[in-house]
Structure formats: structure tokens, C-alpha cells
Amino acid sequence: MIHSINSIFLLVISTIFLVASKPNISWNSSNNHERVPSFPSEPPFELKSILPPVTFAQLTLIHQNESLTVQQKIMKIDEIINALPENILQQLPLPPVFRLLPQEIQEMIKIIRTAKNLTMQEKWLQMTIIIESLPQEQRIMLQQTMPHFPLALSSESKDILPNEVWNNLVAIYQDINLDKAEKLKKIDGIINALPDTIRQRLPLLSPFQKLPFNIQQQLRAVHMQHQLSVEQRLQKIKAIMESLPLDMKKLILPQ
């Protein structure tokens, strides 16, 4: 089951920690466990007829800037796109791979991509949640095209966790010799060893807090089961998210 950990890493960790706006882990790492998708040398040509010339030129410079990591390019592009007027945002097409999905899924992804109140990490997290709810064939296709955003620990968790535990988690997140699967196992071991009184206070990501109370309790219950392995915990959380009806999944979309 380890091969599936990377693809749902964002989803699982989000039920324990909040996504911070500034990640601690760089894409430029000596870690060779993860294969980072290459970044295109220029924006999609179809955007040229939609975007103002100056905007398209700015995006082209970012695409061709070899001093930027993939994550930095995505975040800079998102900043420029977010500053566009609403009438232009609505004209922007989804990447070709998303256009193969059902129309209602495309609409959900478009809402997320054009949400100005979300950071790029939060957008990536919510798109990951949607992708994890798709049939396996569609899910695999999309997972192969989407880079994974690293996460950082949140100040909200820092206020809850003992200092020693917090420092241990930070050390794991910053350890470039560990891949995401190894980090997840180490983090799970530390969290699993905490007293229940502390584990019960760890927050869900704010979009998940919009879900019905019983669903939130199900997610929390998974993390309270000490006997579960990482793989078993992943599968239980994934099953909960996949079981939600479409209208409930829409609750976690930006309003």
C-alpha cells in the first residue's frame, strides 16, 4: 500500500494539521524518492487569445525562469491569475486532462481554481480531495499529471502540542532525506503516542469543518484508533471521503 501514500498524502495530513501558507519543504531536494513532473516552457497557447498581452508575457517569463522551483512557478502564476478581473477568470479553460471529467466535476474544480480567498496549497488540497473521490481510472490519470504540494505545520497545532513534540514534527518535515511516505509514518507514530486528551484537540482543516458533525467525528475517530497502521488509517479516511454524496462534497468548496 506504500505506493498509494504519496497520492493521498495531502488528504490524510489535512485531517490532523492545517495547511500553512508557507511550506517548509522545498521542491529542490536531494531526495530522489519522489518524481517531480516537468514544467512546460510556456503557457498553453489557447490562453493567448483570452489574457491581456502583458499578462501572457508575465506568465511566459515565469514558465521559462529556470531559477524557480515548480512550486514557486505555480504560486507566482496563481498570484497573477488571481489578480485578473472576474470576466477573464470565467473564460479560462481547465487543463486538457480535466476536460475528460464529468461536467459537474469540472465545475467544482473551476470554482476552486478561481477562488481568490484560497492559497495555492489550499486549492491543491481541495482538488486532491475531489480527485480521490473519482473512479480509479480517472483518479490515476489525474494523479500522474498533478504535482504534490508540500505541507507545513500550522501555528494552531503548535499551541496544542507539547514543545518537544512540536520540535520533533518540525524536524521530520524539514528532513530532506525522508520521502513523504517515510515522513507520514514517523508523524503518525508521534501523533499516535500522544494522550487522547491532546489528540482530540487537533483541528480538522477548515473546509472539513463544514461537513456534518457526524462526518467530522468519523474522521477524528480514525485518528483515535491506536491499533491502526498507517495504511489502514489511510484506507479508512479515503473510504469516508469517497462515501460522501456530491452535495456534501460541495460543502468543502470555497463559497
Chosen domain end from 143, 176, 198: 143
Domain count along the chain? 2
- Residue 255 is predicted with a pLDDT of 53
Asked, for residue 174, whether it belongs to a domain, the answer is yes
189 and 208 in a single domain? The answer is: yes
Q: 3-state SS of the chain? A: CHHHCHHHHHHHHHCCCCCCCCCCCCCCCCCCCCCCCCCCCCCCHHHHHCCCHHHHHHHHHHHHCCCCCHHHHHHHHHHHHHCCCHHHHCCCCCCHHHHHCCHHHHHHHHHHHCCCCCCHHHHHHHHHHHHHCCCHHHHHHHHCCCCCCCCCCCHHHHHHCCHHHHHHHHHHHHCCCCCHHHHHHHHHHHHHCCCHHHHCCCCCCHHHHHCCHHHHHHHHHHHCCCCCCHHHHHHHHHHHHHHCCHHHHHHHCCC
170 and 228 in a single domain? The answer is: yes
119 and 53 in a single domain? The answer is: yes
199 and 237 in a single domain? The answer is: yes
Asked, for residue 6, whether it belongs to a domain, the answer is no
Q: How far is CA 77 from CA 57, 62, 99, 135, 248, in A?
A: 11, 7, 21, 30, 30
- Residue 26 is predicted with a pLDDT of 33
231 and 170 in a single domain? The answer is: yes
Asked, for residue 48, whether it belongs to a domain, the answer is yes
- Residue 58 is predicted with a pLDDT of 94
175 and 211 in a single domain? The answer is: yes
156 and 87 in a single domain? The answer is: no
117 and 178 in a single domain? The answer is: no
Asked, for residue 21, whether it belongs to a domain, the answer is no
Asked, for residue 2, whether it belongs to a domain, the answer is no
Instruction: Enter the pTM of the model.
Output: 0.45
Chosen domain end from 86, 112, 143: 143
- Which residues of the chain are under the pLDDT cut of 70? 1-38, 121, 132, 140-155, 179-181, 205-207, 230, 250, 252-255
173 and 104 in a single domain? The answer is: no
- Residue 24 is predicted with a pLDDT of 34
- Residue 29 is predicted with a pLDDT of 36
Asked, for residue 10, whether it belongs to a domain, the answer is no
Asked, for residue 221, whether it belongs to a domain, the answer is yes
245 and 173 in a single domain? The answer is: yes
- Owning domain of residue 99: 39-143
46 and 105 in a single domain? The answer is: yes
44 and 139 in a single domain? The answer is: yes
